[in-house]
Structure 1
């Protein structure tokens, strides 16, 4: 369902697994929310720092 093998799930911490579940639910929920301007700016700054 989440795209992880049982072996991958077994080595994850609980918070890693719950973050994956939360991301899955958020990505597949019916809510159609856009990224805020602040989130877009933060993402852009992070991407620039990876150069």
Structure 2
């Protein structure tokens, strides 16, 4: 991210995390996908099994 070690040492965990999130967004990192709900999960399993289950 380009910070000098002394700057990172002076940051709180919250500040560093906010910088990291901003850096990731500015550099094209993809957002994490939401996990499927239990119902969506079961529907995908049934589809793979061919409707059984």
Task: Give the shorter-chain TM-score range.
Answer: 0.5 to 0.7
* Consecutive unaligned residues in structure 2, runs of 5 or more: 31-53
* Consecutive unaligned residues in structure 1, runs of 5 or more: 32-51
CA RMSD of aligned residues (A): 1.4
Runs of 4 or more above 3 Å deviation: none
- The higher radius of gyration belongs to 2
TM-score, scaled relative to structure 2: 0.52
Relative to its length, the structure with more helix (as a share) is 1
TM-score, scaled relative to structure 1: 0.54
